[in-house]
Amino acid sequence: MATVSYFDFALVDNTRFEFQVRGEGKDFCCYFDFGRPIVLTDKTLTATLAIISGRAFDRIEVGHPLPPDCVEFLRSFCRAEIVPSASAPNLAVPYVPQKSGNIGLSFSGGFDSLAAWKLLPAQNTTLISLDFGGRFSREAQFFTNFPVISVKTNLVAARFHTHTWAFMALGAILAAPTLGLQTLSFGTILEASSANMTFRGLGQIETGYPVFDFLGLTWYNPALGLTEIGTALISAKTHPELLSESLKSLAEPGTEKLYRKWVLLRLVERLTGQSLPVEEPRRPYPQHRVPFGSSFTSHMLSFYMRKHLGAEVADIFVSDVPAAVDEFVARADLTFFERYNSNFLHKVPPSYRPGLIKTLASFGILPYTEKDFLEYQRTLQLLKDAEAKLAGQ
């Protein structure tokens, strides 16, 4: 039976939430240091434990009192036996501060985060970043260029972050009561998941993630209708002087991600006529060149690369490109990469819709045309065909 224990909870100086973790062969003090006072509630404590536990354990021991609804949520979400302590000190406030309609953007400093920030209403949006330390220290340094709440944590250094994707939201979740957050936001774009590339799926204001629903928080991802080209275009127009520093904060030289982001800026230069002062990084190491269809994000972009920069650049990232792809690229416009997928517009919360439309237009980003939708679907089908072929080998 896999067991994890969380105990010795403390809210040090009301600014640093910490607790001991014992499980998976680890024994460490996990912390989230805000450097400013925060309010801890039963639900934000419970949500934190749910996210870092995921469904990796059969038994979860919590050295902190938990109300029945929190115990039941942990049991249901983690599919585990929950053993809380009724006798341990209670750090949580006996009330839940009122939400005031604010938005918390989990901000990484990358192009997608920058674009999301500029598409959100400035008057009630707060940027919240996780400082993982270690090899991620370059990100924390880049955050100083922005009005962020930077939350130091050792969750990644302790390698206890892999049980759910939502660990990236922990800063915003723990700060939510203090900031009066009503909505969580991320720099999620179309290529983040192949599921985003269909006409179906959850609306933006339906989280589809039980932890957020449990907290009574909605989410709104304004960049979800854009590709990497769109977010790079917005970043180049709003922060051209920071692009070089942003690139260096994203990934190590020789990685596919860093070089792909540099290529994005080359594409934006061609699209806008801007001259962006960003040096070419080291090309990706050979191991980053993988068969077409095996990496959705980079191979999605390879269509646009082949169209505007040629196969030589695109093939840095991809091998074994089917002839059907080049035939399609030769006759397609592929302008959907530069535009906004209007299928996502009806899913934007009504109060934010006019502002989003106006802001997109100010950046010269138009909705898809009928031809854009057809090419968008053909692109997706070619990727799916390649993925299926690889799976059958």
| In the chain, where the domains are located | 3-84, 102-225, 228-336+375-391
Give every CB contact of residue 122 below 8 A, 6+ residues apart in sequence.
none
Structure tokens at 17: 């939430």
Predicted local confidence at residue 129, as pLDDT: 96
Within 13 Å of residue 379, how many CA atoms lie on the same side as its CB? 32
CB 143 within 8 A of CB 163: no
CA distances from 226 to 51, 191, 206, 284 (A): 28, 9, 19, 25
Predicted local confidence at residue 208, as pLDDT: 64
CATH of 102-225, one of 3.40.50.720, 3.40.50.620, 3.40.50.1100, 3.40.50.1820: 3.40.50.620
Predicted local confidence at residue 206, as pLDDT: 56
The DSSP annotation for 264-292 comes to HHHHHHHHH---------PPPPGGG-EET
Q: How far apart are CA 102 and CA 184, in angstroms?
A: 9
Output phi, psi for 291, to 5 deg.
-60, 140
pLDDT along the chain (393 residues), means of 10: 96 98 96 96 97 98 97 98 92 79 94 96 96 76 90 96 94 96 93 65 61 92 95 96 87 85 92 90 82 84 92 81 95 97 86 95 97 95 89 75
Specify the pTM: 0.91
Q: How far apart are CA 281 and CA 262, in angstroms?
A: 7
Predicted local confidence at residue 289, as pLDDT: 81
Predicted local confidence at residue 277, as pLDDT: 86
